[in-house]
Structure 1
Amino acid sequence: MVLIKLLLRIAQNSQNFFDQHQCALSLMNSLFVAPAVPEKDLIAGLTKGLRLIEAFDDMHTRLTSSEAASRVGISPAAARRCLLTLCQNGYAQTDGKRYWLDHGILRLSYAYSVSTRLPRLLQSTLDALSERTRESASVVVLHGAQVMVAARSTARKSLTVGLGVGSRLPLHCSATGRILLSSLPTAEFEAVFSAMHLNKLTPHTLTDPIRLRKLLKTCIVNGYALSNQEIELGVRSIAVPLYNMGGLVVGALSLSSRADRMTSGEMIEQLLPAMRRCQSWVRTRLS
């Protein structure tokens, strides 16, 4: 706990809100990295390249080498070499000043989707669930201090949330984040909860830590979690944990709907039974 409080103080000393948020995420992610590997066994250039890929998002679609360097904390010269390498290999493009990701980057997500069992196993099931319910279905996994979409199927085009494979969501206000957070062992849960930055994304976002703790306890009891217009106005979501044969939580399944189509109570009544069936199906097939 002392370490976590120290990390948070460091994050809070950043100059602006964006820096605080990015710093807090980086520090929280450090709590979840794999066991330490000797530095001599690591390739620093590869790490820089991967971080540069992650520097691009919907708010930063085109970056100069200096802007990219600033976002990931490396020198402009190193950023330029990495970006040119990405261009050379078909992962990025440049006009000589700015850089942007190219279609080739999709090869990375494709490699994940066809080589990792969870999305491979669930994609057809997701498609069927989405078609049957006429709502957007997702499989999400815990990724550091956030959750990440591992598979997605959308039967309706009515949702404005631009989620796709690789999209990240906050733990505290997404249905999938809440169900995965509540499923963590006590020590891990306390570490993550204490380090979370409870950003208010809409007027409905729950940011009071005491109320959030109580809500997460109900998620454990009920076996599902809800998010009621807390990430985006007009969108509600419901999520259940996904277990393997050994009873370990390996991800979460969610359905999202427009708020004017379905109340939270109707989601529980109409969508949860189908989600439970998918949950049981996965558990019998995932070792």
Structure 2
Amino acid sequence: MAETETELVTSVERGLAVLAAFHPDRPAMTLSEVAKASDLDRASARRFLHTLLARGYLRADGQLFRLHPAVLELGNAYLAASRLPRIALPYLSDFVGRLNESASMAVLQGDQAVCVAYVPSRRLMTAHLTVGSRFPAHRTALGRVLLAGKPDEWLEGYLAAGRSGGHPDPAALRAEIASVRRDGWFTADEENLEAGIRALAVPVRDSAGVTIAAIGISSHADRLSQATLAEAARPALTETAHRIERAYLAAVPLSAVQRR
């Protein structure tokens, strides 16, 4: 159901903005830094910080505020309630066991690709990915596949609003999205996240053909060659997506899918 502005609770929105202000690049912030990052005045930021402190979602080290592990309860509640990541994990694990490449699943949240499931390989990777990691959708293979699953009207709004900022060429992004729709997969060198990393992603769809997630792998380009992609990784990843789809459709009643 679409919310109108009058139905939004501003205080909740601002409190969430304070939590979202904390980031791996800024794990600890002063009151002034939190106010700036969450676009609040100091007085409002102070009230939200102390409320979150009292509820155990933040901790204070002198003048610095940090997230407390209690915030994991919020993410764990989503993972416990969401069937899709739980359904996907054994199939992703099987894929990793066969190819020894890390695999992940992401969903689209606004303009961000958010990792909701991750199975690491035994090989060392310098790229840091965990459940809850988020990246601008246009900068990852997973994100491009998710964008390709959105309606044309949504995509035009996304591009017109400049939410793909940082992409070297919006026309190239359109072409990439078109290629995902045509081919059913996307591969890219993830130069925007880490040099030397090659990634492959495919969509996971529901019974109506709507993209509900994307699964993918990332590996060093010297290990994941184009030949390996075409001959082994792509067919195996596509098969894994189909297995997840079948398991998801068996677990979720058709009426529930139609109501989404």
Please give the per-residue CA displacement for 1:51-98, whole angstroms capped at 9, x wherever unaligned: 111101111111111110111111212212222222222221102311
Greater shift in the superposed pair: 241-250 or 213-222: 213-222
For structure 2, the residue ranges without an aligned partner over 5 or more in a row are: 253-260
Instruction: For 2:176 and 2:81, locate their aligned partners in 1 and report how far apart those are by CA, in whole Å.
Output: 36
Q: Is the 8 A contact 1:159 1:235 kept in 2?
A: no
CA RMSD of superposed structures (Å)? 1.8
Q: Percent identity?
A: 32
**Residue in 1 aligned with 2:163?**
196
Instruction: For 1:175 and 1:232, locate their aligned partners in 2 and report how far apart those are by CA, in whole Å.
Output: 13
- Deviation for aligned residue 1:214: 2.3
Instruction: For 2:235 and 2:164, locate their aligned partners in 1 and report how far apart those are by CA, in whole Å.
Output: 33
In the alignment, does 2:107 pair up with 1:133? no
Q: Is the 8 A contact 1:236 1:264 kept in 2?
A: no
Instruction: For 1:156 and 1:268, locate their aligned partners in 2 and report how far apart those are by CA, in whole Å.
Output: 22
**Residue in 1 aligned with 2:66?**
100
Instruction: For 1:268 and 1:111, locate their aligned partners in 2 and report how far apart those are by CA, in whole Å.
Output: 38
For structure 1, the residue ranges without an aligned partner over 5 or more in a row are: 1-33, 201-206
**Residue in 2 aligned with 1:214?**
175
Match of 1:174 among 140, 144, 160: 140
Instruction: For 2:113 and 2:82, locate their aligned partners in 1 and report how far apart those are by CA, in whole Å.
Output: 17
**Residue in 1 aligned with 2:255?**
none
Q: Is the 8 A contact 2:115 2:131 kept in 1?
A: yes
SS of the residue corresponding to residue 125 of structure 2 reads coil
Instruction: For 1:178 and 1:265, locate their aligned partners in 2 and report how far apart those are by CA, in whole Å.
Output: 22
SS of the residue corresponding to residue 271 of structure 1 reads helix
CA change 1:115–1:46 in 2 (3 A) is same
SS of the residue corresponding to residue 106 of structure 1 reads helix
- Deviation for aligned residue 1:157: 4.8
Structural mapping, 1:12-23, within 5 Å = none
**Residue in 2 aligned with 1:118?**
84
The size of the alignment, in residue pairs, is 247
- Deviation for aligned residue 1:241: 0.5
**Residue in 1 aligned with 2:115?**
149
In the alignment, does 2:185 pair up with 1:262? no
In the alignment, does 2:238 pair up with 1:276? yes
| Aligned AA (1:97) | Q
| Aligned AA (2:173) | L
Match of 2:34 among 68, 76, 98: 68
- The ranges of structure 1 where at least 4 consecutive aligned residues each deviate by more than 3 angstroms after the TM superposition are none
**Residue in 1 aligned with 2:2?**
35
SS of the residue corresponding to residue 138 of structure 2 reads coil
Instruction: For 1:50 and 1:172, locate their aligned partners in 2 and report how far apart those are by CA, in whole Å.
Output: 24
Q: Is the 8 A contact 1:61 1:100 kept in 2?
A: yes
Match of 2:203 among 197, 221, 241: 241
Q: Is the 8 A contact 1:236 1:256 kept in 2?
A: yes
In the alignment, does 2:122 pair up with 1:160? no
Instruction: Give TM-score scaled by structure 1 length.
Output: 0.80
| Aligned AA (2:195) | L
SS of the residue corresponding to residue 139 of structure 2 reads coil
**Residue in 2 aligned with 1:82?**
48
- Deviation for aligned residue 1:229: 3.0
Please give the per-residue CA displacement for 1:77-136, whole angstroms capped at 9, x wherever unaligned: 221222222222222110231100111111111111111111121122222222322111
| Aligned AA (1:227) | A
Greater shift in the superposed pair: 148-157 or 247-256: 148-157
- Deviation for aligned residue 1:38: 5.0
